[in-house]
């Protein structure tokens, strides 16, 4: 198999919306993405249900549908486990140990190509021989945190007292140090009149391993304390004037029951002449272990690519915005720049041939604002001022993506590189909630018992159990499920009862039908749903209805508060105003769609083509493998997109 390209770069942008991409290209605010379209092919991509993040980034990387790769949304039921167990393990679908399909980067690695995968919601951890993998902003279970503490300014004093500005304090040791106690390299930095350098305890001794405590001193010159000396991780001393960043400093810090090797930088902000008070700005304190492979890659990325003040905390629900939107977009820009720098650095470091990554902030912005962008949304009509703010913020988010694309095209892409810009799904505006557990309970298929202020499933009477992300409903079957009560002879009948209960759901105000379609697992095989981790019934909703409005408790049908259990079908949404996981891949609402943009550009690709025929996201990896001259992943079901190739 002959290669038609030497390198492949997959730019993954979660929840990029095809209609908005086209609109913003026409408005001239996405010049870099436009250049990809002008030099390539723009396609409409269809997700594999559930049309959401873990499922379809796995689909893109493996070429396999859900039933084959087994990554069923954020929650996964593994046959043989209690039906409710998977709801306690959000995002385990992204772990390699649960993957049932081969990833494209594993094929590349086996054929002695160098892959680099970063911030990608699938395949962690890896054991590639030729490549590297790194987590970043996107959180995946069974990894260690990238940051130990956020960047902040710390005040140090000679007394242990609470400061008025509420900033943390640490101690300055005023006991003079003798020559024998001072490091000889430090001794050379001390001027003649600085016979009493003051030691700064940079890190709280309660947190740090004593033998690895970082060393720092305040030094005196001309009778005044005005300089800080700090020992770096290369065992050399560095003197710092005000507003000067240090090199990297090492420390080993406690985290629960383990010690983590960490690095950070400091910048003196102010030093009292008497040395009794010092303010020091800290970078983020980064842990270097347990989030990148092979060991050592994490530290290299921190030192050469990541920003000193990047915030890496992830909300409880990964795709929701917490706090001010403008602050969120500032962090999004930092994230994009850092990822572009990391990918460029690793191109120089390992000369990758295959690079996969993803960014997620566009998904967050769409979830937050999308209903305000839809002309017929009641929210847009009720608050035109907020709608204008939404339009502005969404444009800014897409422009941040475009800036990142431009950085990568300039730094990593040559005539021998094929670039793919793709999302995992689009989204549609939503503004109404529904209550599936209540519908199944009303139909006599689920039973709850009241314990305190919560309704808890009564397994002795419950015939079915819903997972809402994914939109699956499982029959509680004898011989298969630990608490099963439905005999095999009644299985088909119970599945039909579930479908009837869903079909009977109506908006409590308008009487509109909520369900778009429901299938048994066998019936849904044409949607890639044939597999043992797929529910017995798969359902899809009509817009503008959804099942989630910001509270993770809504996604746990095992226990429901009284308030959640009594939500009416058609109740207004307040937090999550864009959705995708509960709809067929072809669902559209105005210019919004669950389908997504896919752009192939560069080596081996036709130029300036826009196709009206949708492709499947399963087709991406087989096509890229064809271009690289390597076999497609062994579990792939997608095809090579011969029609876009420049043969």
d(CA 274, CA 282): 22
**Residue 498 per-residue DSSP state:** H
Provide the pLDDT for residue 171. Answer: 66
How do 354-359 and 115-118 pair as beta strands? parallel
The rounded Cα 206 to chain-centroid distance in angstroms is 32
For helices 384-412 and 325-350, angle between their N-to-C axes, nearest 10 degrees: 10
Domain spans, the chain:
7-64+101-143+294-428+590-644, 148-287, 432-573
Q: Which residues of the chain have a pLDDT value below 50?
A: 161-169, 193-194
Task: Tell me if the pTM is above 0.75.
Answer: yes
Provide the pLDDT for residue 468. Answer: 93
Provide the pLDDT for residue 182. Answer: 60
What is the per-residue pLDDT across 469-507, written as a single tens digit (0 to 9) for each?
999 999 999 999 999 999 999 999 999 999 999 999 999
161-170: list long-range contacts, CB under 8 Å, 24+ apart: 167/279, 170/200, 170/201, 170/202, 170/203, 170/204
Provide the pLDDT for residue 89. Answer: 95
d(CA 294, CA 283): 24
Provide the pLDDT for residue 166. Answer: 44
Question: Could you tell me the two tokens for 598?
Answer: 């896919």
Provide the pLDDT for residue 160. Answer: 52
What is the per-residue pLDDT across 140-161, written as a single tens digit (0 to 9) for each?
999 998 888 888 999 998 765 4
Question: Could you tell me the two tokens for 108?
Answer: 């590349």
For residues 255-268, one letter each, b for 16 or more C-beta atoms within 10 angstroms of the residue's C-beta and e for the rest, the string is eeeeebbbbbbbbb
d(CA 150, CA 148): 7
- Distances in Å between the alpha carbon of 400 and those of 319, 331, 340, 407? 17, 11, 12, 11
- Distances in Å between the alpha carbon of 86 and those of 82, 225, 372, 468, 479? 8, 59, 34, 12, 19
d(CA 430, CA 543): 6
Provide the pLDDT for residue 169. Answer: 45
In sequence order, which residues have a C-beta less than 8 Å from that of residue 372 and are 6 or more positions away?
Answer: 379, 380, 383, 386, 387, 390, 391, 577
- Distances in Å between the alpha carbon of 123 and those of 97, 143, 245, 357, 424? 8, 12, 36, 12, 16
391 sits in which H/E element: helix 384-412
Cβ atoms < 10 Å from Cβ of 410: 11
In sequence order, which residues have a C-beta less than 8 Å from that of residue 642 and are 6 or more positions away?
Answer: none
Class of domain 7-64+101-143+294-428+590-644: alpha beta
What is the per-residue pLDDT across 503-518, written as a single tens digit (0 to 9) for each?
999 999 999 999 999 9
Domain 432-573 = CATH 3.30.1360: yes
37 sits in which H/E element: helix 31-38
Provide the pLDDT for residue 221. Answer: 83
What is the per-residue pLDDT across 244-293, written as a single tens digit (0 to 9) for each?
999 999 999 998 889 999 999 999 999 999 988 999 999 999 999 999 99
371 sits in which H/E element: helix 361-373
């Amino acid at each position: 198999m002959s290669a038609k390209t030497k390198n492949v770069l997959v730019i993954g942008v979660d929840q990029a919306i095809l209609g908005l991409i086209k609109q913003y290209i026409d408005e001239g605010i996405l010049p870099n993405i436009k250049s990809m379209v002008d030099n390539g092919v723009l396609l409409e991509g269809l997700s594999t249900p559930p049309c959401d993040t873990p499922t379809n980034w796995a689909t893109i990387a493996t070429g396999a549908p859900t039933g084959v790769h087994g990554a069923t949304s954020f929650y996964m039921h593994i046959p043989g486990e209690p039906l409710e167990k998977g709801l306690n393990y959000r995002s385990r679908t992204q772990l390699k140990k649960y993957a049932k399909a081969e990833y494209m980067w594993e094929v590349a690695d086996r054929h002695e190509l160098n892959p680099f995968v970063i911030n990608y919601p699938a395949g962690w951890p890896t054991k590639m021989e030729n490549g590297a993998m790194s987590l970043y902003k996107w959180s995946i279970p069974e990894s260690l945190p990238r940051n130990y503490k956020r960047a902040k300014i710390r005040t140090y004093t000679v007394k242990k007292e609470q400061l008025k500005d509420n900033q943390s304090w640490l101690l300055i040791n005023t006991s003079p140090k003798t020559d024998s106690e001072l490091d000889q390299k430090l001794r050379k930095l001390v001027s003649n009149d600085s016979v009493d350098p003051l030691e700064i305890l940079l890190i709280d001794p309660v947190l740090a391993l004593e033998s690895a405590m970082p060393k720092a001193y305040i030094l005196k010159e001309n009778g005044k304390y005005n300089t800080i000396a700090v020992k770096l991780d290369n065992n050399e001393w560095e003197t710092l004037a005000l507003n000067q960043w240090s090199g990297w400093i090492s420390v080993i810090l406690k985290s629960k029951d383990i010690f983590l090797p960490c690095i950070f930088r400091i910048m003196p902000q102010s030093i009292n002449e008497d040395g009794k008070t010092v303010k020091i700005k800290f970078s983020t304190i980064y842990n270097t272990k347990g989030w990148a492979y092979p060991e050592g890659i994490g530290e290299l990325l921190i030192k050469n690519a990541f920003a000193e003040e990047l915030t890496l905390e992830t909300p409880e629900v990964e795709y929701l915005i917490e706090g001010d939107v403008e602050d969120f977009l500032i962090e999004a820009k930092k994230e994009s720049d850092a990822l572009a720098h990391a990918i460029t650095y690793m191109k120089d470091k390992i000369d990758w041939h295959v690079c996969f990554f993803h960014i997620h902030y566009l998904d967050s912005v769409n979830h937050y604002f999308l209903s305000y962008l839809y002309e017929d949304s009641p929210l847009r009509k009720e608050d035109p001022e907020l709608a204008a703010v939404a339009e502005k913020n969404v444009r800014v988010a897409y422009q941040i993506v475009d800036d990142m694309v431009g950085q990568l095209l300039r730094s990593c892409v040559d005539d021998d590189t094929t670039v793919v810009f793709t999302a995992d799904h689009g989204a549609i505006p939503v503004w109404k909630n529904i209550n599936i557990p209540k519908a199944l309970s009303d139909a006599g298929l689920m039973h709850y018992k009241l314990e305190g202020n919560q309704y808890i499933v009564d397994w002795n009477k419950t015939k079915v159990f819903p997972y809402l992300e994914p939109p699956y409903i499982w029959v509680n079957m004898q011989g298969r499920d630990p608490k099963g009560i439905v005999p095999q002879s009644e299985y088909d009948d119970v599945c039909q009862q579930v479908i009837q209960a869903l079909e009977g759901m109506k908006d409590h105000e308008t009487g509109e039908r909520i369900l778009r379609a429901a299938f048994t697992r066998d019936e849904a095989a044409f949607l890639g749903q044939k597999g043992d981790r797929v529910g017995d019934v798969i359902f899809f909703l009509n817009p503008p209805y959804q099942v989630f409005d910001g509270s993770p408790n809504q996604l746990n049908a095992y226990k429901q508060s009284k308030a959640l259990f009594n939500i009416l079908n058609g109740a207004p949404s307040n937090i999550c105003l864009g959705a995708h996981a509960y709809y067929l891949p072809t669902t559209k609402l105005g210019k919004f769609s669950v389908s997504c943009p896919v752009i192939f550009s560069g080596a081996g690709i036709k130029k300036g083509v826009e196709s009206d025929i949708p492709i499947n996201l399963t087709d991406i990896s087989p096509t890229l493998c064809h271009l690289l001259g390597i076999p497609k992943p062994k579990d792939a079901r997608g095809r090579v997109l011969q029609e876009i190739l420049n043969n």
